[in-house]
Amino acid sequence: MERYQFEDLISDYLENTLTIAQRKSFDSYLESNPKAKQLVDNMKNNINELNELPKVKTSAAFMKNLQGRLSAERRIPVESTAKSFLGFTPLYATVMTGLVVAFLFVSIELFNPEKPNLPILNKTFATHADEGSISNKHEPTENDDNQNLADVESDSLDQLDDDIKKKDYSKQIHLVND
């Protein structure tokens, strides 16, 4: 048995967990090495001394002090909830309020009967639709531009005339003598 093998097996020897063959080999090593035997004996004494170390106990005030500390711990959550709004911290409450306001604004804009659709959205969708049609068709020429301009002008003038014709002010005009 080598020295390092011997050192590895000391605890197993002291706790009696070696096999019979290992124990015989260990014993023969001890017989031939008085220093090794001295080390094993000392270690055995140390383990006994460690086992017999006087037991330390908590002080008489331990439970009382613990009770005081637990009371203090119980108070902490109460203080923290006082600084919250409906269970949210100030930061989260602000964020949540912002989100709710934004949601309400978008909802009103989407479902308001006087404004059927969001103008911004319409414009965006129209632009995308135009882009799609442009990409699929030929590039615009000067003739196309003139034609489009004429169409737009005629449409807007027609629309204006239609609006004037539609308006009936007869019931709103009152003569002074009436």
Partner 1 sequence: MNQSSSNLYTMPSVNESRKYIYTDEELIGHFQNGDENAYVELVRRYKDRLINFVFQYVGDYEQSEDIVQDTMVKLYIKKHYYKEIAKFSTWIYTIAKNLANTELRKRKRRKITQLSHMSREEKQIDLPAIQPETGQEVQNEFAHKLIRNAIQQLPEHFKTVIILRDVQELSYDEISNIVDVPLGTVKSRINRARIQLQSELQELK
Residues interacting with partner 1, by CB under 8 A? 7-8, 10-12, 39, 42-43, 46-47, 49-51, 53-59, 62-63, 65-67, 69-70, 73
Comparing CB distances to partner 1, the nearer of 68 and 119 is 68
DSSP calls for 30-68: HHH-HHHHHHHHHHHHHHHHHHTSPPP---TTHHHHHHH
Q: How far is the CB of 115 from partner 1 (least distance, A)?
A: 53
Q: How far apart are the first and last CA of the chain?
A: 134
Closest CB to partner 1 among 10 and 118? 10
What the block records as the tokens of 13 is: 């020897």
Q: What's the rounded Cα separation, in Å, for the pair 92 and 96?
A: 6
Distance set, CA 144 to CA 137, 148, 154 (Å): 13, 6, 15
Q: How far is the CB of 21 from partner 1 (least distance, A)?
A: 19
Of the pair 65, 97, the CB lying nearest partner 1 is at 65
**Count of Cβ atoms closer than 10 Å to residue 26 Cβ:** 20
Which whole-number Å values give the CA distances from 160 to 146, 153, 157, in the listed order? 21, 11, 5
CB of 50 to partner 1, least distance (A): 4
Q: How far is the CB of 98 from partner 1 (least distance, A)?
A: 34
Min CB(92)–partner 1 separation in Å: 23
Residue with smaller CB distance to partner 1, 60 or 91: 60
Nearer to partner 1 among residue 49 and residue 142 (C-beta): 49
